[in-house]
Homo-oligomer: A and B are copies of this chain.
Amino acid sequence: MSSKEYILVTGGAGYIGSHTVIELINNGYDVIIVDNLCNSNYDSVARVEYIVKKPVKFYDVDLRDTAKLSEVFSTHKIKGVIHFAALKAVGESTKIPLEYYDNNVNGTISLLTVMKNHGVKTIVFSSSATVYGDATRFENMIPIPEHCPNDPTNPYGKTKYMIENIIKDIHGSDNSWKAAILRYFNPIGAHPSGLIGEDPLGIPNNLLPFLAQVAIGKREKLFVFGNDYNSHDGTPIRDYIHVVDLAKGHIAALNYLRNLNERDGLYREWNLGTGKGSTVFDVYNAFCKAVGEKLPFEVVGRRDGDVLDLTANPTRANSELNWKAELSIDEACRDLWKWTTENPSGFRIENYQWKLFNDSKRVDYDSRLHTVRVKDLEVSFANYGALIQCIKYKNKALINCFCGIEKYKSPSNPLFGSTVGRYANRISNGEISLGGQIFKLDKNENNRNTLHGGANGFHRQTFLGPVVKGHDSCITVEFTLLDKDGNGRFPADLVTTVKYSVRSNSIDVEYESSIDEGSRAEETAVNLTNHTYWNLGEEKTIDGTYLKTASNEYLEVDSASLLPTGSFAEYPKDLTKGVTLTNDIKLDNCFVVSKSIQSIDTRQETLKQVAELSNSTTGIHLKVRTTEPSFQIYTSDQTNISPFGSRSGISFEPCRFIDAINSKEFANQVTLKKGKVYGSKTSFEIS
C-alpha cells in the first residue's frame, strides 16, 4: 500500500460528485472515485481529469458489493469518505421504492461497515433538504434551520433521513467518528468549463434541466405549477445553489472535520443553501437572459405537496464552516447554458463508444480506446500517445495498427499513429539554448541526438480525457497532457491538447500547446506531429501506390548524424509530378512548404495541400493538408514489427524544420514563450 492518503468519493461520477472531485483536487486532495455508473457516466470522470490535468483513480464498484469495496479500502490508504452514491429522483422513488432503499440504505450500511472495519471514521454525507419535508407545517421555520424536525414525504427523502440516523447512531456508539451531514437545497448550474454538468435521463423533474431542454428544443414548453402563491410573482420560492458553491461546501466540511482533534468525534448537520429564495419566474427570467430569448411556458395547476417557500437558513454553515454560496442564479444559468449548448445530449454521444485498452489482467480506465463513426469513416483513438489506432473507410483499414496496447508500448513500435512531442524529430547533440540558458536533454538516439522528445516523449505518455463532442456531421475527440518540466530534461510545464475532428471524409488533427501558468520556466521548445502510417492498398507494402507532393525540395541532412546541413536539396525523382512507389523510392525526408512562418501558431495560415496518395486497386484517395512549414515523408523502410515489415506504410508528418531550435534562422518556429500559444493543424481527406 502506497503511503499516499486518499479521500474516497462514492458517486464521484455523478452531478454533484464530479464537481466536488474537482474542488477536492484543486484543494490538494488525492481522490479515489467509487461509482457503479448505474445513473452516471465514466466520461464525466474523464472530463474531470481533463479539467484538473491529473489522472483520478476510479473503481466501478457497487457499494453493496461489500467484498469488492473492502478491497479498495485494503489497496489504498483512505483518510475520509465523501458519500454521494444514491438514486435521487423523488418521483421515481415513489414508483420503485425498494430499489431506492436497497441502493441508498443498503449501500450506505455496506460502506459504513467497510469503513468501520478499516478504521476509517471520517465521512461527509450528501443529504438533502427533503429530510425536512414540508417545513411550512411549523411556525417560523422558514428559512429552514437545521433544528427543524424531520419528516420526509417520499421514499427518496426517507432514505436520506434513515442514513442520517444510521450515521448518528454509529457516532453515538463510538464518538470518535467524525460525520458531517450536508443538507442540500436546490443545486443548479454546471462547471464553468462547460465540460461537466447535470445529465438527467428521461424527463428532468427539476426546473432548470427542464428549461434547458426547452431551450434546445427537446421539450415544447415549461410548465409552471401554480402562479397563485403568496410570492412577488405568485410562483413558489426555493433556494437555488450553484453546484460549484455546493461542491466547495464539501471541502469546507471535510476541512472542518479534519481540523478537529484526533480524538474529538462529531456528528453535525449543515444546510448548504444560499439563504436567498427565488421564485420559479425569477429563475425562468435568469435563464431566458442567458439564452437570449423568451422561452415558451404555460401556467398549470399546483402540484401535490408543493408549498410556498423552502428557503435555507445557512447561517450555521456560514459561521462554522466559514463557507458561503457566492455565485448568482445568473452565473448558474450562464454555466448551465454553456454546458447544454456544448453537450446537447449530455455525455451520451451518438456513434461514439469506448472500451478499455490495456492488458486484460488489470482494469485501467486511464487507458481506453475510443471509436467514433461518421457515415463511412470509422476512427479509433487511444489515450496512450493520444494515438490514432485505426482508420476504416467503408470498413477497409487504411493505416497500420495493433489490436492490443502491448505492441504500442514495445521499443520496436515505429510510433504507429502516435502523437509525437514535445519535440518531434531530432535535436542535434541533445542541446538547446533558451533565454541564454543551455539545456542538456536526454539523448535517446545512440547517445547523440534527442529524438521525438526523448525516451518518455508524448508517444510514451497516457493522455487525459478525451472530451468527445458530437454534432450531426462531425465528432471531435480532445485529449490533453501536462508534460512536466524536466521530462527529457526539457524546461517548463507544457500543457498540450490534441484535438481530432472526424467528418464523413476527413480527419483533422489540431495541436495546441502553452506553458502552464504554474510553470517556473518561461520558455521551451515545441514541435508536434502525428506519425500515422498509411497503406491504402490491399498489399503488405505501399509499392504500387501513387504519390504526389506539393514540394520536391527537402532539408538536406548529414547522412551520418541525420541532421540538417543547413542547405536545401531537390529530390532526384520529381515528386511534384507524381510517382508510383517502388522499392527504390526510399523516403525519409523533410520537404519544405515555406521557409518562414507568421507565428508559432500556424493555425492562422491557410491549409495547404502538401501531398496526395492514391491506390488504383482500392480506388482510395488521400489528401494531406497542413498549416505547417514542412512535412516529413517516411516510407517505413526500417519498420520491422510483425506483422508489419519494411515499406508496410507511408507516413506524412507535417512539422517544423528538423532541429529548428538550433538554427538561428528557424528557431522562432519552435520557441514557445509563456503566454504564447503553439498551434498547428493538419487535415487528412479521404475519398
Contact = CB atoms under 8 A, between A and B. Distances in A.
Contacts of A172: 94, 97, 155
Nearest to A105: B105
A170 B105 contact: no
Nearest to A100: B169
Contacts of A687: none
Interface stretch (A106-114, A243-251, A358-366): A106-114
B97 A101 contact: no
A165 interface: yes
Contacts of A96: 173
Contacts of A93: 169
A87 to B, nearest CB: 13
A641 interface: no
A162 interface: yes
A375 interface: no
A98 interface: yes
Contacts of A170: 97-98
Contacts of A105: 101, 105-106, 109, 162
B113 A109 contact: no
B158 A165 contact: yes
A98 B158 contact: no
B158 A97 contact: no
Interface string A72-113: 000000000000000000000111111001100110010011
Given A105-B106, A158-B169, 14 more contacts: A93-B169, A94-B169, A94-B173, A95-B173, A96-B173, A97-B170, A97-B172, A98-B116, A98-B166, A98-B173, A101-B105, A102-B113, A105-B105, A106-B109
27 contacts: A93-B169, A94-B169, A94-B173, A95-B173, A96-B173, A97-B166, A97-B169, A97-B170, A97-B172, A97-B173, A98-B109, A98-B112, A98-B166, A98-B173, A101-B105, A101-B109, A101-B166, A102-B109, A102-B113, A105-B105, A105-B106, A105-B162, A106-B109, A155-B169, A158-B162, A158-B165, A162-B165
Interface string A159-193: 00010011001101100000000000000000000
A148 to B, nearest CB: 15
A102 B112 CA distance: 10
A112 B165 CA distance: 22
A98 B109 CA distance: 7
Contacts of A106: 105-106, 109
A92 to B, nearest CB: 10
A113 B97 CA distance: 11
A101 B106 CA distance: 9
Interface in A248-300: none
Contacts of A102: 109, 113
A102 B63 CA distance: 14
A126 B158 CA distance: 21
A500 B214 CA distance: 83
A101 B166 CA distance: 7
A93 B96 CA distance: 29
A102 B169 CA distance: 13
Contacts of A101: 105, 109, 166, 169
Nearest to A95: B173
A170 B98 CA distance: 7
The 10 closest A-B pairs by CB, nearest first: A97-B169, A155-B169, A102-B109, A162-B162, A101-B166, A106-B106, A101-B109, A97-B173, A95-B173, A158-B165
A158 B166 CA distance: 9
A217 to B, nearest CB: 33
Nearest to A169: B97
A106 B113 CA distance: 12
Contacts of A155: 169, 172
A438 to B, nearest CB: 63
A147 to B, nearest CB: 15
A94 B96 CA distance: 31
A95 B173 CA distance: 5
A151 to B, nearest CB: 9
Contacts of A158: 162, 165, 169
Interface in A170-224: 170, 172-173
A176 to B, nearest CB: 14
Contacts of A95: 173
A116 B170 CA distance: 31
A387 B113 CA distance: 47
A101 B101 CA distance: 12
A569 B630 CA distance: 129
A224 to B, nearest CB: 27
A114 to B, nearest CB: 11
A155 B172 CA distance: 10
Interface string A50-86: 0000000000000000000000000000000000000
A93 B165 CA distance: 13
A95 B93 CA distance: 32
Nearest to A102: B109
Nearest to A64: B106
